[in-house]
Structure 1
């Protein structure tokens, strides 16, 4: 098992469709956790319904403050393992957690989805309005709709969302 090198936000891999249950159990055990939820439309033959699903399937973010928290969180029913890269645990920076919270909490941002493919370099912009003010993102042009990508480097994941183009401004290049 890898060493607990740092306290902070770790990524707990959980059983399929157990994200909310594990989150609730962690909070009952007084361990800070976070499951980013997004709204999506599901279609059946007779109806359509808007439902909330986790942004990261089978992931729960856990704020570890001691080695006891590390083991308590893993012992919760539905928890499987911590995400690791090699022998090191994946640690998510507080800034990245805050960015995820802003993205899933902002009403003007729609069509949120996960993309773990590294995209080719595109235009880099900075968001200038709303809760995401100051966040740098990469722009993709998909069917004439501006989409942003916010990179969560510690997870090796990207968050894609549609955002109004008036929210974006050029970043002056540093020579």
Structure 2
């Protein structure tokens, strides 16, 4: 690969509502891809329905191993371009991909949402048990279930979810 590209996970920006199609086409072309999906309830005037939506709208994660993979991924129907921050393509570490997989696969979390805002209010904590153990978070609201924010730095996104307060400890109290 070129000097600017390294092997790893990159963020592919796709046309609106084409995430599943692009993910399927990437897999058909023997490229490893990841599309985090969440289940949500949509309400209409006459009914409610549970549907699956992408956690990050218009984003599909693609594992790039060569420059050929890079060009093959961007040439998929519905794919627009790879996300860049400044002059560098947005790379997501394997650890962050695993954390996203844990978040969407966890039964302990509910109301999962994303936000691009960098919130500064609240107390920083570390999750001490469950599938998200060791993850740092910020408290948004305290009631029966604490709202937490998990910052995924390479995406410049937040994951917002409800988690029980007994899963949280102060940053200074981790062993």
Question: Residue 69 of structure 2 aligns to a residue in which SS?
Answer: helix
TM-score under structure 1 length normalisation? 0.93
Q: Match of 2:101, SS?
A: helix
> Structure 2 length as normaliser, TM-score?
0.93
Are residues 1:166 and 2:137 paired?
A: no
Contact 1:36 1:100 in 2 (8 A): yes
Distance 1:162 1:81, change over 3 A: same
Please give the root-mean-square deviation of Cα atoms over the aligned residues, in Å.
1.8
Question: Structure 2 CA distance, aligned partners of 1:3 and 1:14?
Answer: 25
In structure 2, what is the equivalent of residue 28 of structure 1? 28
**How far does residue 3 in structure 1 lie from its aligned partner after superposition?**
5.7
Partner Cα distance (1:3, 1:148) in 2: 38
**Counterpart residue number, 2:134:** 134
Report the 3-state secondary structure (helix = DSSP H, G, I; strand = E; otherwise coil) of the residue aligned with 1:160: strand
| Structure 2 unaligned residues grouped into runs of 5+ | none
Matched residue, 1:55: 55
Where has structure 1 moved over 2 Å in runs of 4 or more?
Answer: 2-5, 142-145
Equivalent residues of 1:4, 1:67 under 8 A apart? no
Say how many residue pairs are matched.
173
Q: Displacement of 1:5 after TM fit?
A: 2.7
Cα separation, 2, equivalents of 1:134 and 1:173: 12
Residue 33 and residue 59 in structure 1: after superposition, are their counterparts in 2 closer, same or farther (change >3 A)? Answer: same
Q: Secondary structure at the match of 2:172?
A: coil
